[in-house]
Structure 1
Amino acid sequence: MGLAFQSLSYWQVMLWGLAFFGGIYLVFGSLTWLLTTKLLPALGIGHPLDPRPLAPGQLKRELQQSALSILLFGTGMIFPWGLLQLGWAQLTPNASGIRIALEIFALVIWNDIHFWINHRLLHTKLLRKFHLPHHRSVVTTPFSTYSFHPIEAAMLGNVILLPMVVHDFSFWSLASVPIFSLFFNCIGHANYDFFPRVSYAHWFAASRRHHLHHACYQGNFGFQFTFMDRLFRTRLDGDAAHDQIDAFQRRKARGASAP
């Protein structure tokens, strides 16, 4: 498959990239939305995290911004393809299953490091304006995952370039990055606690942590794991959004009791 990818023309690479990123976004986003709004609540599994309503027109805005991100991610496949064409990177053919598994594990860890660094930069005064479009989704949805400013999309979308120039990965290892990244991202933005019984620090509590990042804006800059937030002391307390949500519940209760 790696040789087939290298033999594509630049426009074929971009078309395949657009189809790939658009496809996984629609599939993962739609399935997560269906699970968290219909199936899991009906089964009594888990619960929503933030009870506040979505902003007016939020889903439409998220889909529009995500379409631009998909355009950038898809056409951006020209860059890893270009590294291969220039000989600056190589793909390992016929890699063993163990090697692919180890490479994917390394890329999962690198993805968290890369995300924390870029996400933290996006919260600096210099780059904050490029991150604000994503944070317009205070109460998130699975379709918030690619709802980025183009600058943010470019920063987060270059995750595989550095690994490619320092190691000869399998094609399948590299192809796994957008898949597990989007999967974790949909879970993190689902505004749903899938595993209420696990601790706040657990890997499975990522949706709780990212919900707090959107509710409070600062802190919890990590992706799926907590090691970067622990290392740099940027992890929010588990009740960081309690005041905002409690105030909403009180207003809602007063409105319901008003004649």
Structure 2
Amino acid sequence: MSDHDFTQPENFLILTGLMFLVVVFRYSFVAGIFYLVFYVIDPKSTRSRKIFSSGTSKKQFRKEIFWSTFTSMLFALAGAGMVVMWQLGYTAIYEEIDRFGWWWVPTSFLIAAFIHETYYYWFHRWMHKPRVYRLIHKTHHDSHITSPWTCFSFHPGEGLLQSLIIPMIVFFLPMHYWTIVALLTFMTITSAINHSNVEIYPKGFHKHWLGKWFIGATHHSLHHTQYKYNFGLYFTFWDKLMRTESEKYESNFEKHTSNH
């Protein structure tokens, strides 16, 4: 663990600032790559895979980047708070791989992803209650047709509630700090994939023994257009179990991958 005492206010502010830069860079880098590839460099090559061929605008992109930057600050505050709790000995974060062995690194990743998925699914359904939706979730759904920049575009209330789950997990689940970094990176990449408005997965992936459990752009775009289906974050298992997966998903996926 670092020798710096981040419980001191000035060090905490420095840590929060550094984490903010990291989160903004990760968001900008990942979303930017998707945007450049699908919208700038060669949009024609992905035209048949686009969920919607038009409907986004520079005004929408600017709004999404604004809210995503604000969300990044909330994520940075949560991350800095997690580091302070770690220094105070309140978390299960560890530094030495040998403490639990290499097998625990991917295992803890999958457990944390499962917990995060479960939290998000039910939290997401709660946000679609009319009063809650109007208060905090509508900001995200203002992007009726999504883009890579949509992935962190949240109202501050939603951003705050989303930022708490990883710190909550590490209070009881032993995780190496690089496993946490990997999970946060996975979250950013999958969010960019899901909001990209381009189906990147191969033909037939939605029926593959592994692929059928992963959410992609086709799956999540139906949530942004139908609202009452497809509430998952990374995986489809809660939607399948609770019968909230859109009946249009398979036909839409086949449509957007038919030429590949």
Using the size of structure 2 for normalisation, the TM-score is 0.83
Whole-angstrom CA distance in 2 between matches of 1:100 and 1:32: 28
Q: Does the CA contact (< 8 Å) of 1:28 and 1:182 recur in 2?
A: yes
Change (3 A) 1:54 1:240: farther
Q: Does 1:17 align with 2:19?
A: yes
Report how far residue 196 of structure 1 moved. 4.9
Aligned to 2:93: 91
- Equivalent residue runs for 1:124-143 within 5 Å: 124-129=129-134, 130-143=136-149
Aligned AA (1:121)? W
Q: How does 1:65-76 map to 2 (within 5 A)?
A: 65-76=67-78
- The answer as to 2:174 corresponding to 1:172 is no
Structure 2 residues without counterparts, runs of 5 or longer: 253-260
1:50 touches 1:211 (CA, 8 Å); kept in 2? no
Does the CA-based 8 Å contact 1:209-1:238 persist in structure 2?
Answer: no
SS in structure 2 opposite 1:71?
A: helix
Distance 1:124 1:70 in 2: 25
Where structure 1 has 5 or more consecutive residues not aligned to the other structure, the ranges are 243-259
After superposition, give the CA deviation of every residue in 1:68-121 in whole Å (9 maximum; x if it has no partner): 111111122232123224322132221143321221122222221122122111
The letter of the residue matching 1:128 is Y
Query: What is the rounded CA distance, in whole Å, between the counterparts of 1:66 and 1:102 in structure 2?
Result: 30
For residue 101 of structure 1, what is the aligned residue in structure 2?
A: 106
Structure 2 counterparts to residues 198-217 of structure 1, below 5 A: 198-200=204-206, 202-203=212-213, 206-217=216-227
Distance 1:5 1:174 in 2: 20
2:238 corresponds to: 228
For 1:104 and 1:240, the matched residues in 2 are separated by 29
- Cα offset, 1:186, TM superposition: 0.1
Alignment of 1:186 onto 2:192: yes
CA offsets 1:142-179 (integer angstroms, 9 cap, x no match): 00011100010011111212221212221111122221
Q: Give the structure 2 partner of residue 117 of structure 1.
A: 122
Q: CA deviation at 1:206?
A: 1.6
SS in 2 for 1:160: helix
Give the Cα–Cα distance (whole angstroms) in 2 for the partners of residues 97 and 32 of structure 1. Answer: 32
User: In structure 1, how many angstroms separate the alpha carbons of the residues matched to 2:44 and 2:118?
Assistant: 37
* 1:163 aligned partner: 169
Contact (CA 8 Å) 2:206, 2:250: kept in 1 or not? no
- Structure 2 counterpart of 1:4: 2
What is aligned with 1:245?
Answer: none
| Alignment partner, residue 54 of structure 2 | 52
> What RMSD, in angstroms, separates the aligned Cα atoms of the two structures?
2.4
How many angstroms apart in 2 are the aligned matches of 1:205 and 1:147?
A: 19
Output the TM-score relative to the length of structure 1.
0.83
- Pick which of 206-215 and 182-191 moved more: 206-215
Q: Distance in 1 between matches of 2:25 and 2:92?
A: 27
How many residue pairs get aligned? The number is 240
Distance in structure 1 (CA, Å) of the matches to 2:34 and 2:50: 13
- For residues 181 and 5 of structure 1, do their structure 2 counterparts lie closer, same or farther at Cα, with a shift above 3 Å needed? farther
- Preserved CA contact (<8 Å) 2:49 2:200: yes
**Is the CA contact 1:200–1:238 (under 8 Å) kept in the aligned structure 2?**
no
Does the 8 Å contact 1:21/1:74 carry over to 2? yes
**Distance in 2 of aligned mates of 1:90 and 1:6:** 19
Query: Could you tell me the percent identity over the aligned residues?
Result: 20
CA contact (8 A) 1:18 1:70 kept: yes
Q: Aligned to 2:130, what secondary structure does the other structure show?
A: coil
Aligned partner of 1:255 in structure 2 is: none
2:151 paired with 1:154 = no
The aligned counterpart of 2:255 is: none
